[in-house]
């Protein structure tokens, strides 16, 4: 994959309250990436943990009548238990109250102070307690509200210590522009560059103990503690041995990915890089900001009472189903909407109907018609059906790797679902139950083996997302539950005939929705649709390739009143397209027009005629108009969007 090691981090989470779906999403994403890289044979290190200093923790401790340390010790277990429940395979869990972290933070602070990177000055600013950040008056909303959380700020005047962040502004802009992979997705990089158009101020990195006592004491002034963000960001290097284990640090740094939510973009793409630059440490390879989980069109938030408890969902529907939903529903970088209706729809369609049904029918057929033993395929009994399924399944294997490296997991998972659907179609096309009745043993053995081999590869591809259920699939087809490597998935035919299958029951029992729930879903369908429309962004739209095409020939399809067969030119490539426009256009009326087509639509047969693409048209009642290019001549094959 072009790199020796894979080091991924999540943000460290505040211990002022219990974890929510946002915490679960980032951590599951890091886990899935780690599992895939281990599958690919990359040495992998996955770090997560908790942020245990700062005003929010101190405030929560007071409210709960605890000491800050007791607050941390009580709340951290909620994260640790959740990660165990969600099958998270982190290599380390760091707490910022641990000595291994605090000692290194003090050493860094002292070094920066000694080299003149930190100075003391009086500061006047507007402080947001929930965000634990200062803002200048020009940054406020309505002159008093925090620009991030929109809550009231407090005006504070006090002496503090400052890190000379502003001196690195030009360097940071150059680094971002010369390393396009540094901040991803691209639009987040542009967001940071937009922020850097304004003069970059120095960063206040202390809080006086008289206002905040819970933090790492500054080594050069005992009246102050370290600003929580300066302290927290350093976990990414203390967690892999910086200042304590030089060999370990050299092995894993720089980080492959810092995974973050878009709300902490500035701290990670401005504060952290300038801190590392001042420390003389190499920059991470990529800081990746994902979107938010929304309820309808609203951000999920504890303060508004709409936060989803991941434990509740996992316990109700299963851990693996929950992991799959989060990975498949969100396109990385964009927002996604969560609702129980959306969850159940995807669960029933992808997991119960497609994957669960495939396993059940394959295992039951082998048990019934092959004595429960996976038969050997017969070369002479192979047909085009086997070739087509093999190509589709292996295509999913080869598509998954760039989906991982390109951070497009949802697209990779869709390729796997295509393979699962293809395997179900294969069972219908080959009808092994008929072959059994006809005593066509060679053909039956070939079909059953082919279907089981598809399950082997599919279970391997989905293992990082649904480890528990995929181990069940492997067990069902007679395989050991562990020991998968990518080369085994890239090669067809690794499943050994003679393995004994096991009926494990329903892999994903279908979720039945009551009439009352269905009624509620119907009433909320319009709301959900509007919400989904609101969160569609350019990355989603870019999956559809629209191109201009010139109509060369047109004729009516015999026996079909509504269909025209078109011969079109798409940038020098000739295609055939079948369109339902014959009631609105005569063949001679469309010849010569430059139309817009969906160029990457999978070919389909309409009335036995292959159609490669779909033209765009607008319809209002009984009127239909082709979508064409404005003006005169325009080249075919041009991109639209």
CA–CA–CA angle 194, 197, 199 (5° rounding): 135
Query: Do 609 and 481 belong to one domain?
Result: no
Distances, alpha carbon 33 to alpha carbons 9, 350, 429, 559, in Å: 11, 21, 36, 53
| Of 179 and 16, the one with more pLDDT | 179
Tokens of 600: 């990457």
Number of domains making up the chain? 3
Query: Do 370 and 243 belong to one domain?
Result: no
Q: At what angle do helices 467-476 and 357-369 cross, to 10 degrees?
A: 20
Domain boundary among 490, 513, 531: 490
Inside any domain, residue 318: no
Backbone angles phi, psi at 6, to 5 degrees: -130, 115
The model's pLDDT over 58-99, given as tens digits with 9 standing for 90+, comes to: 998 999 999 999 999 999 999 999 999 999 999 999 999 999
Q: What was the pLDDT predicted at 540?
A: 53
* pLDDT > 90? residue 360: yes
Inside any domain, residue 532: no
Inside any domain, residue 142: no
* pLDDT > 60? residue 632: no
Q: What was the pLDDT predicted at 235?
A: 98
* pLDDT > 60? residue 304: no
| Of 599 and 641, the one with more pLDDT | 599
User: Is residue 296 very low, low, confident or very high in pLDDT (cuts 50, 70, 90)?
Assistant: low
The model's pLDDT over 399-428, given as tens digits with 9 standing for 90+, comes to: 998 999 899 999 999 999 999 999 999 999
Query: Do 48 and 115 belong to one domain?
Result: yes
The model's pLDDT over 443-492, given as tens digits with 9 standing for 90+, comes to: 999 999 999 999 999 999 999 999 999 999 999 999 987 666 666 899 99
Question: How far is residue 4's CA from residue 35's CA, in Å, rounded to a whole number?
Answer: 16
Query: What CATH number does residue 296 fall under?
Result: 3.40.50.620
Query: What CATH number does residue 366 fall under?
Result: 1.10.730.10
Domain boundary among 268, 293, 311: 311
Query: Do 251 and 114 belong to one domain?
Result: yes
Tokens of 116: 């003149």
* pLDDT > 60? residue 114: yes
| Of 143 and 597, the one with more pLDDT | 597
Using CA atoms of 48, 49, 55, 61 in order, give the dihedral in degrees to the nearest 10: 150
Question: How far is residue 353's CA from residue 423's CA, in Å, rounded to a whole number?
Answer: 12
Query: What CATH number does residue 565 fall under?
Result: 2.40.50.140
Inside any domain, residue 520: no
Query: Do 296 and 394 belong to one domain?
Result: no
Query: Do 304 and 354 belong to one domain?
Result: no
Q: What percent of the chain has pLDDT over 70?
A: 90
Sign of CA dihedral 578, 581, 583, 585: negative
| Cβ-proximal residues to 625 (8 Å cutoff; 6+ apart), any chain | 584, 617, 618, 619
* pLDDT > 60? residue 533: no
User: Is residue 530 very low, low, confident or very high in pLDDT (cuts 50, 70, 90)?
Assistant: very low
**Spatial CA neighbour of 119 closest among 151, 86, 160, 87:** 160
Question: How far is residue 421's CA from residue 538's CA, in Å, rounded to a whole number?
Answer: 28
Distances, alpha carbon 639 to alpha carbons 185, 542, 634, 636, in Å: 22, 11, 12, 9
**Exposure of 45 by Cβ count < 10 A (0-12 exposed, 13-18 middle, 19+ buried)?**
buried
Quickly list DSSP for 51-62: E--SHHHHHHHH
Mean pLDDT, rounded, for 537-563:
76
Looking up tokens 């200093």 gives 53
**Spatial CA neighbour of 454 closest among 352, 321, 355:** 355
* pLDDT > 60? residue 269: yes
Looking up tokens 């003391």 gives 120
User: Is residue 562 very low, low, confident or very high in pLDDT (cuts 50, 70, 90)?
Assistant: confident
- 8 A C-beta contact, residue 583 and residue 562: yes
Question: How far is residue 175's CA from residue 168's CA, in Å, rounded to a whole number?
Answer: 10
Query: Do 34 and 179 belong to one domain?
Result: yes
Tokens of 539: 């990355």
Q: What was the pLDDT predicted at 633?
A: 63
Q: Burial code of 555-567, b = ≥16 C-beta within 10 A, e = fewer?
A: eebeeeeebbbbe
Question: How far is residue 591's CA from residue 576's CA, in Å, rounded to a whole number?
Answer: 13
Sign of CA dihedral 115, 120, 126, 131: positive
Tokens of 25: 């999403």
Lowest mean pLDDT among 140-144, 239-243, 278-282, 468-472: 140-144
Inside any domain, residue 506: no
Backbone angles phi, psi at 405, to 5 degrees: -70, -25
Query: Do 454 and 562 belong to one domain?
Result: no
Sign of CA dihedral 164, 166, 171, 174: positive
Quickly list DSSP for 518-546: HHHHHHHHHHHHHHHHHT--HHHHTTS-E
The model's pLDDT over 513-524, given as tens digits with 9 standing for 90+, comes to: 765 654 444 444
Tokens of 164: 């000379």
Query: Do 479 and 622 belong to one domain?
Result: no
Q: Where are the beta strands (DSSP E) in 436-592?
A: 546-556, 564-570, 573-579
The model's pLDDT over 128-172, given as tens digits with 9 standing for 90+, comes to: 877 777 787 778 888 789 987 888 998 888 899 999 999 999 999
| Cβ-proximal residues to 40 (8 Å cutoff; 6+ apart), any chain | 1, 401, 404, 486
Quickly list DSSP for 273-307: HHHHHHHT-PPPS-EEEE--EEETTEEP-TTTT--
Inside any domain, residue 556: yes
| Of 440 and 625, the one with more pLDDT | 440
Mean pLDDT, rounded, for 592-614:
84
Inside any domain, residue 513: no
Question: How far is residue 28's CA from residue 484's CA, in Å, rounded to a whole number?
Answer: 20
Q: What was the pLDDT predicted at 3?
A: 52
Residue 213 domain boundaries:
6-120+156-311
pLDDT, the chain, mean: 89
User: Is residue 299 very low, low, confident or very high in pLDDT (cuts 50, 70, 90)?
Assistant: low
Q: What was the pLDDT predicted at 150?
A: 84
| Of 296 and 394, the one with more pLDDT | 394
Domain boundary among 452, 468, 490: 490
Query: Do 473 and 345 belong to one domain?
Result: yes
Inside any domain, residue 201: yes
Beta strands 6-9 and 257-261, pairing class: parallel
Q: What was the pLDDT predicted at 622?
A: 65
What is the DSSP code (8-state) at residue 547?
A: E
Question: How far is residue 166's CA from residue 181's CA, in Å, rounded to a whole number?
Answer: 23
| Of 44 and 559, the one with more pLDDT | 44
Helix or strand holding residue 36 (H, E): helix 21-39
Mean pLDDT, rounded, for 539-553:
77
Query: Do 485 and 564 belong to one domain?
Result: no
Q: What was the pLDDT predicted at 542?
A: 59
- 8 A C-beta contact, residue 270 and residue 196: yes
Query: Do 300 and 353 belong to one domain?
Result: no
Q: What was the pLDDT predicted at 403?
A: 93
Distances, alpha carbon 112 to alpha carbons 102, 355, 416, 500, in Å: 15, 56, 50, 65
* pLDDT > 70? residue 539: no
């Amino acid at each position: 994959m072009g790199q020796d090691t894979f080091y991924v981090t999540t943000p460290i989470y505040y211990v002022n309250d219990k974890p929510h779906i946002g915490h679960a999403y980032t951590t599951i994403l890091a886990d899935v990436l780690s599992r895939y890289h281990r599958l690919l044979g990359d040495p992998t290190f996955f770090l997560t943990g908790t942020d245990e200093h700062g005003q929010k923790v101190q405030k929560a401790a007071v409210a709960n009548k605890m000491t800050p340390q007791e607050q941390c010790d009580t709340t951290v277990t909620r994260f640790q238990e959740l990660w165990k429940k969600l099958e998270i395979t982190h290599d380390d869990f760091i707490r910022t109250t641990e000595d291994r972290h605090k000692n290194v933070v003090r050493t860094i602070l002292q070094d920066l102070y000694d080299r003149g990177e930190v100075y003391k000055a009086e500061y006047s600013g507007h402080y947001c307690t929930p965000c634990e950040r200062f803002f200048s008056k020009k940054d406020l909303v309505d002159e008093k509200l925090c620009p991030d959380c929109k809550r009231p700020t407090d005006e504070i005047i006090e002496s503090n210590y400052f890190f000379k962040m502003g001196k690195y502004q030009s360097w940071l802009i150059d680094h971002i522009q010369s390393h396009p992979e540094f901040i991803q997705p691209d639009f987040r990089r542009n967001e940071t560059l937009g922020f850097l158009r304004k003069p970059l101020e120095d960063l206040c990195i202390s809080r006086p103990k008289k206002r905040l006592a819970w933090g790492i004491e500054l080594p050069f002034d005992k009246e102050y503690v370290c600003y929580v963000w300066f302290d927290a960001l350093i976990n990414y290097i203390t967690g892999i041995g910086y200042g304590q284990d030089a060999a370990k640090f050299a092995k894993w740094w720089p980080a492959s990915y810092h995974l973050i939510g878009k709300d902490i973009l500035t701290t990670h793409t401005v504060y952290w890089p300038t801190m590392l630059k001042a420390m003389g440490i190499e920059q991470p390879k990529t800081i990746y900001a994902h979107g938010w989980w929304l309820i309808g069109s609203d951000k999920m938030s504890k303060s508004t009472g709409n936060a989803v408890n991941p434990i509740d969902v996992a316990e109700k529907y299963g851990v693996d189903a929950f992991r799959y939903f989060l990975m498949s529903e969100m396109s990385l970088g964009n927002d996604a909407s969560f609702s129980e209706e959306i969850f159940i729809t995807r669960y029933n369609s992808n997991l119960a109907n497609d994957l669960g049904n495939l396993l059940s029918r394959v295992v039951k057929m082998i048990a019934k018609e092959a004595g429960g033993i996976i038969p050997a395929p017969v070369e002479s009994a192979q047909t085009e059906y086997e070739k087509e399924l093999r190509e589709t399944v292996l295509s999913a294997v080869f598509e998954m790797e760039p989906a991982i490296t390109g951070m497009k997991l949802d697209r990779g998972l869709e390729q796997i679902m295509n393979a699962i659907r293809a395997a179900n179609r294969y069972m219908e096309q080959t009808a092994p139950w008929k072959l059994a009745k006809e005593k066509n043993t060679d053909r039956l053995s070939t079909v059953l083996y082919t279907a089981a081999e598809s399950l082997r590869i599919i279970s391997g591809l989905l293992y990082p997302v649904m480890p528990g259920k995929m181990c069940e699939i492997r067990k069902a087809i007679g395989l050991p539950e562990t020991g998968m490597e990518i080369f085994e998935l890239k090669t067809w035919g690794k499943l050994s005939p003679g393995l004994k299958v096991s009926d494990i029951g329903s892999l994903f029992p279908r979720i039945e929705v009551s009439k009352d729930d269905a009624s509620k879903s119907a009433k909320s369908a319009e709301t959900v649709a509007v919400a989904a429309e609101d969160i569609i962004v350019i990355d989603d739209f870019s999956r559809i390739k629209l191109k201009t095409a010139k109509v060369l020939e047109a004729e009516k399809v015999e026996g079909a009143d509504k269909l025209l067969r078109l011969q079109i030119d798409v940038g020098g490539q000739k295609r055939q397209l079948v369109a339902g426009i014959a009631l609105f256009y005569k063949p001679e009326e469309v010849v010569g027009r430059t139309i817009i087509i969906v160029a990457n639509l999978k070919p389909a047969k309409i009335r036995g005629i292959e159609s490669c693409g779909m033209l765009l048209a607008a319809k209002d009642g009984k009127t239909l108009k082709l979508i064409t290019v404005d003006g005169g001549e325009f080249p075919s094959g041009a991109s639209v969007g």
